Structure 1
Amino acid sequence: MKIDKKHLLNYSILIPYMILSIIGLVMVYSTTSALQIQKGGNPFSMVITQAAFWVLSLGFIYMIYRMKLSFLRQKKLIVVVLLAEVAMLVASRFFDPVNGAHGWIRLGPGGIIGLQPAEYLKLIIIWYLADKFSQMQDDIRVYDYQALIKGSWIPKAFNDWRVVSLAFLALVGSLPDLGNATIIGLIMVVMISASGIGYRWFSTIIAGIVLGAFVLLSTIRILGVELVAKIPVFGYIARRFAAYFNPFVDATESGLQLANSYYAMSNGGWFGLGLGNSIEKNGYLPEAHTDFAFSIVIEELGFLGGSLILGLLVFLILRIIVVGIRARNPFNSMMAFGVAAMLLIQIFINVGGISGVIPATGVTFPFISQGGNSLLTISIGIAFVLNIDANEKRVLLQEEIERTLA
C-alpha cells in the first residue's frame, strides 16, 4: 500500500516557516522603504524582490518535497552542485566588493540580480557531509572519531571530506567573508559531532573553539587593532574588532554600526516605537535592512516583539531537531541536525554581533533581514527537512500496516 506524501506534511514546521516569512516581508518593507524614498526610488522595490524570492522558495519547497530522497543522494548530483559552487565562489572574485568582501555575483541590467555563493554553501556543506558521514557509519561505530580521519588524504584528495570542506572554507575566507566562513566552520563542527562519534568529542571541540576565540581576542587586544589591520585582506575585519572593544571611541567610523544598534534597541524599550517608526533606520544605522535588521525590529516592536520572533524561531528549530532525533536513517538525521544548526548559529552570530557580545561579522538575521539568497537557502533547507520527515513517517506507517496485515 502506497501512502501519499501530501498526507504526511509536517505543519508544525511549515506553519512557523510561513509566519516568519510573512513577518520578514513586513519588516523588509519597514527597513527599506525609507532608504528607497531617500534615493528617489520605489519604496516597494526591495520588498517586491524579497517577495519574488519567497515565491521562488515556495516553488523549490514543493519540488523538493515531491522528490525521492534517493534522487537527492545521487553522487553525480552532489558532485555537480559542488563544482557549480566552486565556479560561483571563484567568479565572485571578479565582481566589485560589497562591504570589503567579494561575495556577490551581479547579473542583469545594472546588476539587479545578485547571487551570494557563500549563502548556498551553508546548505551544500550540510548536504555533502551528511551524505559522506552516512556512508561511514559502520566504521564510525567501530573506530569512533578515528574513522573520520584515518588514512592519508593525498591519494584521494578530491574525494576526501576534509580536503573538500577545508577548501570551501578557505575560498569563503579569502573573499574575505568572515561571517559566512564562521557559520560554515561551525556547521562543519556540528556535522562532525552528529556523525555518530562519541559525545565527549563534541565537548572537546566546543571547548577548543571557545578557548581559541578567547586567545584570538586577547591577542588582538594586546597587540592592538592597528597591527592586525596591516595584515593583507583583513583590514576591514580589524575595524570590526575595534568597534567590538569599544564602539563609542570612534562612534562616527568603526563604531558607527554598533553604537547606533545600541541606540535602536534602547529606543525600543519593552513595547517599541511602533511598526515603521524607527529613528535609526533613517540614515543613522548603516545596513539597517540587512545585518542590523533585528535592531530595528526591537526598536519598532520592542523587547517583547523581538522575543516573540525569537521564540517562534526557537520553536521551528526545536521541531527540526525532533525530526533529526526521530529519523532512523543516518543521512536523514544529520541533514535535519545540520539545517537546525545553520539557523541557530546564524541567529546567535547576528544577535551576538548587534548586541556586542561577539564581534559583528556581517551575518543576516534569518527571515527578517532583506536578502533573497538567505531566504532561498533557508527555504531549501526546510524543504529537505519536510521531505525527510514525510519519508520517515511513511516508512513507519508502511511497516505498521504490514505488521497488521500479517
Structure 2
Amino acid sequence: MKIDKQHLLNYSILIPYLILSVVGLIMIYSTTSALQVQNGRNPFQLLLSQAGYWVLSLIAIAIIYRMKLSFLRRPGLIYVTLIVNGFLLVISHFFEAVNGAHGWIRLGPKGIIGLQPAEYLKLLIIWYLAHQFAKIQGDIHKYDYQALTKGRWIPDKLNDWRVVSLLSLGLVASLPDLGNAVIVALIMMIMITSSGIGYRWFSTALIGLVSVSALLLGSIRVLGVEVVAKIPLFGYIARRFAAYFNPFENATESGLQLTNSYYAMSNGGWFGLGLGNSIEKNGYLPEAHTDFAFSIVIEELGFFGASLILGLLFFLMLRIIVVGIRARSPFNAMMSFGVAGMLLVQTFVNIGGIAGLIPATGVTFPFISQGGNSLLIISIGIAFVLNIDASEKRELIQEEIERTMV
C-alpha cells in the first residue's frame, strides 16, 4: 500500500512559515516604500522583487517535498552543488563590492538578478556535513570524536570534511563577508555537535570560541581599530568595530546605523508608532530594509509586536527540532538540527548587531529583511524538513501496516 506524502504534510511548520513570509512582505513594503517614492521610483519595486523570490520559494518547496530522500542524499548531487557554489564564491570577487564585500553576482539587464553564494553555502554545508557524518555513525558511537578526525588532527586528504569546510569558510571570509563567515562557522559547530560526539567536545569548542572572541575584542579595544584597518580587505570591519565600541562618538559616520537603531527601538516603546509610521526609515537609518529591518519592526509594532514575531519564529525552530529528535535516520536528524540552527544563529547574530551586543555583521533577519536569496535558502531548508518529516511518518505507517497484516 502506497501512502501519498501530501497527506502527511506538517502544518505546524508550514503555517508559521507562511505567516512569517507574509509578515515579511508587509514589513518590506513598509520599510522601502517611502524612500522609493522620495527617489522617484516605484514604491512596490522591492516588494515585488521579494514576492517574486517567495513565489520561486513556494515552487522549490513543492518540488523538493515530492522528491525521494534517497535522491537528495546522492553524493554526486551534494558534491556537484557544493563545487558549483564554491566556483560562484570565487567568481563573485570580480563583481562590484556592496558595503565593502564582493558577495554579489549581478546578472541580466542592470543587474536585475542577484546571486549571493554565501547565503547558499549555509544550507549546503549543513547538507554536506549531514551526509558525511551520517556515513560514520557506527564509528562515532564507538570512537567518539576520533571517528571524525580518523586519528589525525591534520587532514591527509583534500576530500576530508575539514578541508572542504574550512576552504568554504575561507572563501566567504575572503570576500570579505564577516557576518556570513561567522554564521557558517557556528553552523559547522552545530553540525559537529549533532553528529553524535560527546557533549564535552561542544563545551570545549564553545569555551574556546568565547575565549578567542573576548581576546580579539579586548585586543582591538586596547590597540585601537586602526590595527584592523591596516589588514588588506578588512578596512570596513574596522569601521564596524569603531561603531561597536563608541557608536555615539561616531554618530554621523561609522556609528550612524547603530545610533539610529537605538533611536528606532526607543521610539517603538511597548506598542510602537503604528505600521508604516516609522521615523528612522525615512533616510535616517541606512539599510533599514535589510540589516536593521527588525529595528523598524520594533519602532512600528513595539516590544509586543516584535515579541510576537520572535515567538512565532522560535516556535518554527522548535517544531523543526522536534522533527530532528523524532527522526530515526542520522542524516534526517542532522539536517533538521542544522536548518533549525541556521535560523537560530542568523536571528541572534542579527539581533546582537542591531542591539550593539556584537559588532554589526550585515546579516539579515530571517523572513523580515529584504533579501530574496536569504528567503529562498530558508525556504529550501524548510522544504527539506517537511520532506524528512513526511518520509519518516510514511515509513512508520507502512511498518505498522505490514505488522498488522502478518
Tell me whether the two structures share a fold, i.e. TM-score over 0.5. yes
Q: Do 2:155 and 2:162's aligned partners in 1 also have CA atoms closer than 8 Å?
A: no
Query: C-alpha deviations, 1:152-190, integer Å up to 9, x for none?
Result: 565521x21000000000000000000000000000000
* Aligned residue type for 1:230: K
Corresponding residue for residue 319 of structure 2: 319
Corresponding residue for residue 183 of structure 1: 183
Corresponding residue for residue 228 of structure 1: 228
Query: C-alpha deviations, 1:218-248, integer Å up to 9, x for none?
Result: 1110111112211111110011111111200
Corresponding residue for residue 299 of structure 1: 299
Alignment of 1:65-76 (within 5 A): 65-76=65-76
* Aligned residue type for 1:292: F
Corresponding residue for residue 336 of structure 1: 336
Corresponding residue for residue 56 of structure 1: 56
Query: C-alpha deviations, 1:105-130, integer Å up to 9, x for none?
Result: 00111111111000000000000000
Q: Pick which of 224-233 and 124-133 moved more.
A: 224-233
Distance in structure 2 (CA, Å) of the matches to 1:326 and 1:235: 46
SS at 2:94 equivalent: coil
* Aligned residue type for 1:20: L
Q: How far does residue 405 in structure 1 lie from its aligned partner after superposition? A: 1.5
Distance in structure 2 (CA, Å) of the matches to 1:85 and 1:151: 30
Is 1:350 equivalent to 2:350 in the alignment? yes
Corresponding residue for residue 92 of structure 1: 92
Distance in structure 2 (CA, Å) of the matches to 1:364 and 1:389: 27
Corresponding residue for residue 156 of structure 1: 157
Q: How far does residue 344 in structure 1 lie from its aligned partner after superposition? A: 0.2
SS at 2:186 equivalent: helix
Is 1:174 equivalent to 2:174 in the alignment? yes
Identity of aligned residues (%): 76
Distance in structure 1 (CA, Å) of the matches to 2:54 and 2:155: 42
Is 1:401 equivalent to 2:376 in the alignment? no
Distance in structure 1 (CA, Å) of the matches to 2:296 and 2:156: 52
Length-normalised TM-score, structure 2: 0.99
Corresponding residue for residue 204 of structure 1: 204
Distance in structure 1 (CA, Å) of the matches to 2:155 and 2:13: 42
Q: Pick which of 230-239 and 52-61 moved more.
A: 230-239
* Aligned residue type for 1:281: K
* Aligned residue type for 2:83: L
Query: Structure 2: 5+ residue runs without aligned partners?
Result: none
Alignment of 1:259-274 (within 5 A): 259-274=259-274
Distance in structure 2 (CA, Å) of the matches to 1:96 and 1:162: 31
Distance in structure 1 (CA, Å) of the matches to 2:370 and 2:73: 31
* Aligned residue type for 2:374: S
Length-normalised TM-score, structure 1: 0.99
Distance in structure 1 (CA, Å) of the matches to 2:114 and 2:108: 9
* Aligned residue type for 1:80: V
Q: Do 2:12 and 2:319's aligned partners in 1 also have CA atoms closer than 8 Å?
A: yes
* Aligned residue type for 1:328: R
Corresponding residue for residue 83 of structure 2: 83
Distance in structure 1 (CA, Å) of the matches to 2:235 and 2:211: 24
Distance in structure 2 (CA, Å) of the matches to 1:51 and 1:115: 16
SS at 1:114 equivalent: strand
* Pairwise CA RMSD: 0.9
Corresponding residue for residue 144 of structure 2: 144
Off by >3 Å, runs of 4+ in structure 1: 151-155
Corresponding residue for residue 310 of structure 1: 310
Q: How far does residue 199 in structure 1 lie from its aligned partner after superposition? A: 1.3
Is 1:36 equivalent to 2:32 in the alignment? no
Distance in structure 1 (CA, Å) of the matches to 2:363 and 2:33: 21
Distance in structure 2 (CA, Å) of the matches to 1:151 and 1:160: 13
Distance in structure 1 (CA, Å) of the matches to 2:135 and 2:61: 26
